[in-house]
Amino acid sequence: MKLIRRNLDKIINSNLNILKRNKPGNIPIFFAIDNNYIPFLAVTLKSLIEHTSKKNTYLINILYTDISQENIEKIKKYEQNNVCIDFIDLSEYIKEFEEKLYTRDYYSRSTYFRLFIPELFPNLDKALYLDSDIVVLTDIALLYNIDLRNNLLGAVPDDSVQIIKSFQDYVEKVIGVSSYKKYFNAGVLSMNLKALREIKFIEKFMYLLDSVKYKVAQDQDYLNRLCKGRVKLLDNTWNRMPIGGDTVPREDLKIIHYNLSYKPWHFEEILYKEYFWKYAKQTEFFDYIMEIKNSYKPEDKFFDMETEKSLKALALKESQCVGDDRISNTRKQIKKVVEKTNAIPKAKDRLEILKKIEELEAEGKFDIDPEKDPPTIMLNPENVDYLKQKNSNKIKTKIANKVGEKFLDDILKNNQLIIREVNGIENLNSLKTGAIITCNHFNPFDVFAIEEVYRSSKFAGKKTLYKVIREGNYTNFSGLYGFLFRNTDTLPLSSNTETMKKFLKSVKVILGRGDFILVYPEQSLWWNYKKPKPLKPGAFKFAVENKVPVLPIFITMQDTEKIGKDGFPIQEYIVNISEPIYPIEGMLAKQNVELMKNENFEVWKKCYEKFYKIPLEYTTKIEEIESESKLSDEE
């Protein structure tokens, strides 16, 4: 709580005008958005303002961390004599704990801001919170004036939960509500701020945030958990979603909530779409919203539907768990892992590899593999078809990719690969050209983690992800692995000069047509090694020479309760995708390479230190690291 209160005074002192408005006739209304939702907020405000009464003053407070001044000014134009609009920047308030605010899919951390309203505005006894994907069809003061008595919130049962069985089981078994019929949607809330402060709501939320991670509905799940038993359930006309059929008389509708994937600016056949478009046409954002709708491709729609399926599957999976596997870093969990680990003898070869890694780190030999590979067979140019120009190779690649997908599905199903979460998928989706993707290398299966992430991106099925591999992996392996190495969109390096010329020409073609290439710039695989290692310049040379960005990915990991056959805990991965790093136009190539390489390493270092909460330090002597870095730069 100290970290929260440290920044609280700044927020309060800068918003005294809001705090002094706690009087009859004043209706405090809160929104929480980012730049992406400004057009839809405008639609919501247009509908809300149309139904205001001159008897009241509507105090609209928009909580944000990243809205441009231009967009602020556009929204401020909606102010009227009885409608005041304030923007409240929460950047300072949340920066010390924002990494704890779990998000998934298209959600941003702003979805959590509603939970901080009681603490941020201590002079307000009551307020409304509204999502910005709604249309208001009546005077919102009617909602504000509903007597909550001693309840903490007034809210509407979530329509999607009422009709989807996996969600019903989830909210009863995981969240702990007595009946799914009492689980409410948090997009429209009447908040008894005084009562929430009396129960120390924010302290309870921060405690829960440290101990339990709700993955399905995130902040909404926390609200339901903390407020259960003290919620006044309102008629669903106050938060009607386009799901479950047209069962409510139109004249009774008060708020339409285009929740989940039910967006009229994405899909044509959405129930109640006419209300949205009525108000959208009255805003300056109408043409922009129509552009979003017209450019929303079939694959985007498919991704939306798949996301909804995944959410249902996640709810089902969570409801089948007993609880402890949702709790992170508890003593009980750690003790259980330790007991299991100690009970199973460690594989001798793994122990030898870990010892070898310690020795290599101490010596500063970061680019040497601790595991002995078979002798490398030289790859000659006539033995590799990088671009799959021969029909026979095209067929082999098609088959190999299908086999690879099945293999990936199997190792995910069997928990041989566990991906707990993916952060920053929007950074991958933002790419407009071909790109070099960099990743730390610590397990033979980490390439499949990148493949799985790529399958969930908007590029799946449209662009190809190539993987740079070692010469020996391409020429030496037999059986299934050899077949996959040679045929699943791989780009083998070679000790043959002519082959490498062919390699570089192929890289240029691949990046030029907008595809992606995965490179491991550490140049070595150290099993379960958590630290980022010094980087080689090759990946960054590819990027500079072809004028494309580098997309840094750093995978962090932690023990699960499952113990592998080698006696070590199976790791679960958190895939962290950072913003692209672009070459600087006009800069000398060598300087550009060095700059991009250093920036990539700093991104990885920051990610490492933030997740593991320890500074990055090596057992290597400083001069040896500097020597290693210098050698890397000269290659």
The pair of structure tokens assigned to 556 is 């962090």
3-state secondary structure of 188: strand
Kindly give, in sequence order, each residue whose CB lies less than 8 Å from that of residue 260, ignoring residues fewer than 6 positions away.
160, 241, 243, 308, 311
Asked whether residue 504 carries a pLDDT value surpassing 90, the answer given is: yes
Mean of pLDDT values over 66-91: 92
Distance between CA atoms of residues 444 and 437, nearest Å: 17
- Please provide residue 615's backbone torsions phi and psi, each rounded to the nearest 5 degrees: -70, 150
Lowest-pLDDT choice from 137-151, 164-178, 202-216, 274-288: 202-216
Q: Are 336 and 220 in contact (CB under 8 A)?
A: no
Whole-angstrom Cα distance, residue 256 to residue 237?
Answer: 8
Highest mean pLDDT among 252-256, 365-369, 475-479, 610-614: 252-256
Q: Are 435 and 553 in contact (CB under 8 A)?
A: no
Write down the residue that tokens 């590799």 correspond to. Answer: 384
Between 300 and 342, where is the model more confident?
Answer: 300
Q: Domains of the chain by range and CATH? A: 2-319 (3.90.550.10), 329-373+390-634 (3.40.1130)
What pLDDT does residue 127 have?
97
How far apart are the C-alpha atoms of 160 and 583, rounded to whole Å? 46
Residue 133 has pLDDT above 50, yes or no: yes
The pTM score is: 0.51
pLDDT at residue number 635: 45
Task: Judge whether residue 621 has pLDDT over 50.
Answer: yes
| Cβ-based burial of 374 (10 A; exposed 0-12, middle 13-18, buried ≥19) | exposed
| Predicted confidence band of residue 308 (pLDDT cuts 50, 70, 90) | low
